């Protein structure tokens, strides 16, 4: 009886610790896009932090094997400590309880309960079974991968059902025009700007937020598409070759826009050439007579045969005489056949002007008059966390925190440099740049030294290349502060002595919880 009571206490404490450990592991798995190889890489890069939180579970092994009932109570206390060490913290992007996550937790619960049931009924080998429980605690991130592998056949069946259902819905709307938008950066802004312009004349459905994966697109079609929709603006993201083709095989775009090609997600793509090939999967998917627009300012896309180019320095559609200030931007749009208009917008930065130019070209070619395009540009709201200008008076914030890449970061610094004020940069740097991570972040630091008066870096290890670049470009070390958290960095930005001038703070990138 005593042994069973002690086992009951141990079981409750073990389940508590496993719940905390598995919650964190599933959260990271979701942030890692449910990619097993990315999860394994995350474990390798964070092994020290993981061990600090879990290694205490190893102490239960001798206690269970040598000390009987007392050992079970000691082990229970250890699991309580492990559980409290792994209590969920406030996350920048909390775990979303999707159907897939619920199925994953169900499988994990079955595995955990199977261990306890086996230990309960096999009293003779109970210590040995609970030692297995200790190893489960130590290997929680890999236990999630095991559950994912178990669920994989079911997940594939469910995904196939959803994809086929989306295809049927699209087949029932033969007059729907599908515009595919992709690029290493700028695709979300392009999608939102183009959708606003097309909405002047058509019923438009854009993919929401960053629903740019295959299943995100499928979910949009199944849950949001209405019979009255005339144009579907589909953002297409990619982390691996073939990702865009997979989306195109579902939606069959007749219009494609490629906003950029650059060194992003190089950990999976390896080379920029592979990025280019993947982005061109959209061009390859267009039917004969389809319309392709490309950023002619991008060296990888300039002069693309059969494409309509847009840009500031090149292309049939151009932006010129650009003026940017605290209230937004204005520029002259020119196109073929004498098309010309002065556009005004509340958006700031060369990057946004470029996107508006491309969206205007696409909207015009799809039948929206220039006067309606200009009206839509004037009403554009900044896309949250993408060069979004906030604040007023003596303190402005340029929120470009969604993500960062070399070209986007350079455009953000250019926007910062355009302000007549004390210019402050807050950043944790850029990630997913593979072997070029140090090189490109150092170059970012060198650029920042010319655009900013003060720089607050988030994370000493992560931002070392930027720090080196700032010093190499001549920024005094007393105008650089390395902070542990974003909150600390923003406080440092606000504490910087501007000498009575207004301050403009650029928030360039904000890394998610798995970094």
Q: In this structure, is residue 164 part of a structural domain?
A: no
Residue 143: both structure tokens together: 């236990």
Work out the end-to-end distance of the chain between its first and last CA atoms, rounded to an integer number of angstroms: 47
Is the same domain home to 392 and 364?
Answer: no
Angle at 13 between CA 8 and CA 19, to 5 degrees: 125
Q: Are the C-beta atoms of 230 and 178 separated by less than 8 Å?
A: no
The domain that holds 473 is classified in CATH as: 3.90.190.20
Q: What mean pLDDT do residues 361-382 have? A: 95
Domain end (from 119, 153, 187): 153
pLDDT band at 449 (very low <50, low <70, confident <90, very high): very high
Examine residue 332 and state whether it is found in any structural domain, yes or no: yes
Cβ pair 372, 197 in contact under 8 A: yes
Looking at the fold, whether 221 and 304 belong to one and the same domain comes out as yes
* Per-residue pLDDT, 211: 83
Pair 244, 279: CB distance under 8 Å: yes
Q: In 10 A of CB 250, how many CB atoms? A: 18
Spatial contact of 258 and 295, defined as CB atoms under 8 Å apart: yes
- Cβ atoms of 44 and 37 within 8 Å: the answer is no
Confidence of residue 451 (pLDDT cuts 50, 70, 90): very high
In this prediction, residue 128 carries a pLDDT of: 81
Residues 247 and 359 in one domain: yes
Residue 220 has pLDDT above 60, yes or no: yes
Q: Lowest mean pLDDT of 29-38, 215-224, 349-358, 361-370, name the range.
A: 29-38
In this prediction, residues 90-106 reach a mean pLDDT of 88
Q: How far is CA 470 from CA 59, 295, 450, 454, in A?
A: 46, 30, 9, 10
Residue 163 lies in a domain: no
Query: Which region among 155-164, 411-420, 489-498 has the lowest average model confidence (pLDDT)?
Result: 411-420
In the structure, what pLDDT confidence band is assigned to residue 5 with cuts at 50, 70 and 90?
A: confident
pLDDT at 133 > cutoff 70: yes
Please check whether residues 63 and 185 belong to one and the same domain. no
At 458-515, the pLDDT tens digits run: 988 889 999 999 999 999 999 999 998 889 999 999 999 998 899 999 999 876 554 4
Q: Which residue has the tokens 């627009």?
A: 293
- Which one, of 128, 213, 119, 97, lies nearest residue 166 by Cα? 213
Q: Which domain holds residue 282?
A: 173-379
**Same domain (yes/no): 268, 132:** no
CATH number of the domain encompassing residue 235: 3.40.1190.10
- In this structure, the answer to whether residues 340 and 252 fall within a common structural domain is yes
Q: Which pTM does this prediction carry?
A: 0.77
Under the banding of pLDDT at 50, 70 and 90, the label for residue 121 is confident
**297 shares its domain with 369:** yes
Among 347, 379, 411, give the residue marking a domain's end.
379
- In this prediction, residue 265 carries a pLDDT of 64
Going by pLDDT thresholds of 50, 70 and 90, the confidence category of residue 167 is very high
Establish if 487 belongs to a structural domain.
yes
- For 380-400, the pLDDT digits (tens) are 988 777 778 888 778 988 888
**Under a CB-based contact definition with an 8 Å cutoff, are residues 431 and 368 in contact?**
no
The CA distance from 148 to 155, in Å, is 9
Q: Which two tokens stand for residue 263?
A: 């060194």
Are both 338 and 406 inside the same structural domain?
no
Question: What would you measure as the largest C-alpha separation in the chain, in angstroms?
Answer: 92
* Domain match, 354 and 241 both: yes
Measured distance CA(482)–CA(489) in Å, rounded: 8
35-49, 332-346, 366-380, 477-491: segment of lowest average pLDDT: 35-49
pLDDT at 267: 66
Q: Is there a single domain that holds both residue 416 and residue 362? A: no
Q: Which two tokens stand for residue 100?
A: 């897939």
Residue 139: inside a domain, yes or no? yes
For the chain, the average pLDDT equals 90
- Pairwise CA distance, residues 185 & 258, whole Å: 10
Interhelix angle 68-85/126-138, rounded to 10 degrees, is 20
Q: What is the pLDDT of residue 61?
A: 87
Q: Quote the pLDDT of residue 266.
A: 62
Residues 346 and 421 placed together within one structural domain of the fold: no
3-state secondary structure of 370: helix
Q: Strands 308-311 and 317-325: what pairing? A: parallel
Top-confidence residue, 81 or 325 = 81
69 pLDDT band (50/70/90 cuts)? confident
Q: Please tell me whether residues 122 and 34 are part of one structural domain.
A: yes
Provide the pLDDT confidence category of residue 311 given band limits of 50, 70 and 90. Answer: very high
**Nearest by Cα to 182 from 170, 191, 174, 173:** 191
Of the residues 153, 188, 207, which one is the last residue of a structural domain? Answer: 153
Does the residue 286 lie in any domain?
A: yes
Q: Is 333 left (phi over 0), alpha (psi -120 to 50) or beta?
A: beta
Total domain count for the chain?
A: 3
Once rounded to an integer, what is the mean pLDDT over residues 167-178?
96
User: Cα separation of 454 and 408, whole Å?
Assistant: 20
Of all residues in the chain, the percent with pLDDT exceeding 90 is 59
Least-confidence region, from 147-161, 204-218, 395-409: 395-409
Q: Answer whether residue 40 is part of any domain.
A: yes
d(Cα 146, Cα 144) in Å, to the nearest integer?
Answer: 5
b/e code 359-393 from CB counts within 10 Å (16+ = b)? bbbbbbebebebebbbebbeebebbeebbbbeeee
Residue by residue, DSSP assigns 70-100 as HHHHHHHHHHHHHHHHTPPPP-SSPPP--HH
- Pairwise CA distance, residues 176 & 230, whole Å: 5
C-alpha to C-alpha distance for 313 and 45, rounded to whole angstroms:
42
**Residue 168 covered by a domain:** no
**Dihedral angle computed from the Cα positions of residues 276, 277, 278 and 279, in that order, rounded to the nearest 10 degrees:** 50
């Amino acid at each position: 009886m005593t042994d069973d009571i002690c086992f009951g206490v141990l079981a409750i404490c073990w389940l508590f610790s496993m719940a905390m450990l598995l919650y964190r592991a599933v959260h990271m798995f979701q942030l890692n896009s449910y990619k097993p190889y990315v999860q394994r890489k995350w474990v390798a890069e964070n092994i020290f932090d993981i061990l600090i939180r879990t290694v205490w579970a190893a102490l239960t092994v001798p206690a269970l094997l040598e000390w009987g009932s007392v050992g079970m109570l000691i082990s229970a206390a250890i699991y309580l400590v492990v559980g409290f060490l792994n209590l969920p913290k406030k996350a920048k992007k909390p775990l979303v309880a999707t159907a897939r996550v619920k199925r994953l937790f169900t499988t994990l619960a079955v595995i955990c309960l199977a261990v306890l049931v086996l230990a309960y009924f096999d009293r003779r080998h109970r210590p040995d079974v609970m030692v297995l429980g200790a190893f489960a605690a130590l290997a929680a991130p890999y236990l999630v991968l095991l559950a994912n592998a178990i669920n994989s056949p079911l997940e594939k069946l469910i995904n196939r059902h959803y994809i086929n259902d989306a295809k049927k819905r699209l087949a029932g709307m033969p007059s729907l025009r599908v515009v595919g938008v992709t690029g290493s950066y700028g695709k979300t802004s392009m999608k939102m700007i183009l959708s606003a312009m097309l909405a002047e004349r058509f019923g438009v459905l854009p993919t929401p937020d960053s629903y740019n994966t295959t299943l995100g697109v499928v979910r949009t079609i199944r849950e949001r598409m209405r019979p009255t929709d005339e144009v579907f603006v589909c953002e297409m993201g990619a982390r691996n070759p073939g990702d865009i083709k997979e989306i195109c095989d579902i939606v069959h775009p007749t219009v494609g826009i490629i906003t950029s090609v650059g060194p992003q997600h190089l950990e999976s793509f390896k080379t920029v050439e592979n990025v280019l090939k993947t982005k061109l999967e959209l061009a390859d998917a267009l039917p004969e007579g389809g319309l392709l627009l490309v950023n002619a300012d991008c060296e990888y896309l300039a002069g693309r045969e059969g494409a309509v180019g847009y840009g500031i320095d090149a292309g049939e559609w151009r932006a010129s005489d650009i003026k940017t200030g605290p209230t937004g931007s204005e520029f002259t749009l020119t196109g073929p056949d004498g098309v010309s208009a002065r556009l005004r917008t509340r958006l700031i930065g060369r990057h946004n002007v470029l996107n508006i130019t491309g969206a205007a070209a696409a909207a015009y070619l799809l039948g929206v008059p220039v006067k309606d395009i200009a009206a839509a540009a004037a009403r554009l709201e900044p896309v949250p966390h993408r060069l979004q200008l906030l604040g007023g008076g003596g303190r402005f914030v340029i929120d470009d925190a969604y993500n960062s890449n070399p070209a986007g970061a350079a455009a953000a610094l250019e926007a910062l440099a355009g302000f007549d004020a004390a210019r402050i940069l807050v950043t944790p740097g850029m990630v997913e740049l593979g072997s070029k991570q140090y090189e490109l972040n150092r170059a970012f630091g060198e650029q920042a030294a010319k655009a900013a008066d003060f720089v607050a870096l988030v994370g000493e290890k992560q931002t070392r290349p930027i720090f080196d670049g700032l010093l190499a470009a001549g920024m005094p070390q007393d105008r650089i502060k390395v902070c542990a958290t974003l909150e600390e960095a923003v406080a440092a930005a606000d504490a910087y002595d501007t000498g009575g001038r207004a301050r403009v703070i650029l928030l360039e990138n904000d890394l998610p919880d798995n970094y």
